[in-house]
Copies of this chain bind each other. A is one copy, B any other.
Amino acid sequence: MSGAGAAMHRVYTDLARLTLEDSQVTALTGLAERVRELTEAVLYTDVEEDELAGVTAELATLTERLKAARREHPPVAVLGEDGTVRQLASPVTGLLNPIAPPVRVEALPDGAGVRASFTLNVAYEGPPTFVHGGVSALILDQVLGEAAARNGRPSMTATLDMRYRRPTPHGVPLTAEAAVTRVDGRKSWADGRIIDPQGRTTVEATGMFVLPRF
């Protein structure tokens, strides 16, 4: 893990990655949201092939316009007011990452863990009408990791055990919650679950997280 620790240290001490003006965050958040809508439209579209070709070509032009000025790294993180790292480019929670649902994670009072809320569209579908099992793992890895690392320092997953109780529906508001159950030195363990709109647990997870040395 020392390589990972060194890489994280370099990035989290690179202030250029941490400082993004609020207006930039707002503009990029809006752009990412439009890409999410585009993604859903791609999955449902039934327009003629010449129209597909036209849209495809114009899309390439828009991408080139965005590439006219390029950062060295994505704006991975900004420091939140409470000192926590906010992952702007995370594939799970990142407002700026079009592949993120995005999942919104909040700390519960009195160190009682974290709660997440999100709705997954058809892009995250596995079995018809249900969320892909791996997407539930993706989200719980993040949510458990945030419970374990709520002191603001990033941890890395060592183990993650998923137990699927019932199918998780997409297109409806879901919640996830997680809390640390044990800490031993650089290791922490967390339990969590995804809950459907009827309050039923659909997936349970247990994870062990390790704080890199740096």
User: A1-41 interface mask toward B, CB cutoff 8 Å, 1 = contact, 0 = none?
Assistant: 10110011011100000000001100110111011011101
Residue of B55, B70, B98, B142 touching A44 (CB-CB under 8 A): B70
Q: Which residue of B lies closest to A47 (CB)?
A: B69
From A111-119, A158-166, A178-186, give the one contacting chain B: A158-166
In this complex, the interface size class of chain A, counting residues with CB under 8 Å from chain B, is 35 or more
Residues of chain A from 111 to 149 with CB closer than 8 A to chain B in the complex: 122-130, 132-135, 137-142, 145
User: A70-88 interface mask toward B, CB cutoff 8 Å, 1 = contact, 0 = none?
Assistant: 1101101000000000000
Q: Which residues of the partner chain B approach A3 to less than 8 Å between Cβ atoms? A: 167
Residue of B41, B60, B92, B124 touching A67 (CB-CB under 8 A): B41
Judging by beta carbons under 8 Å apart, are B125 and A91 in contact? yes
Judging by beta carbons under 8 Å apart, are A160 and B162 in contact? yes
A55/B65 contact (C-beta < 8 A), A74-B122, A154-B127 known: yes
Pairs of residues from A and B, 7 with the lowest C-beta to C-beta distance, nearest first: A134-B141, A134-B138, A133-B157, A137-B137, A11-B128, A43-B74, A41-B66
Q: Told that A38-B98, A127-B156, A160-B164 touch, could you supply 19 new A-B pairs with CB distance under 8 A?
A: A35-B39, A38-B62, A38-B66, A42-B97, A42-B98, A43-B74, A44-B70, A44-B71, A45-B69, A55-B62, A58-B58, A90-B126, A91-B125, A98-B98, A98-B99, A127-B212, A132-B142, A134-B142, A137-B162
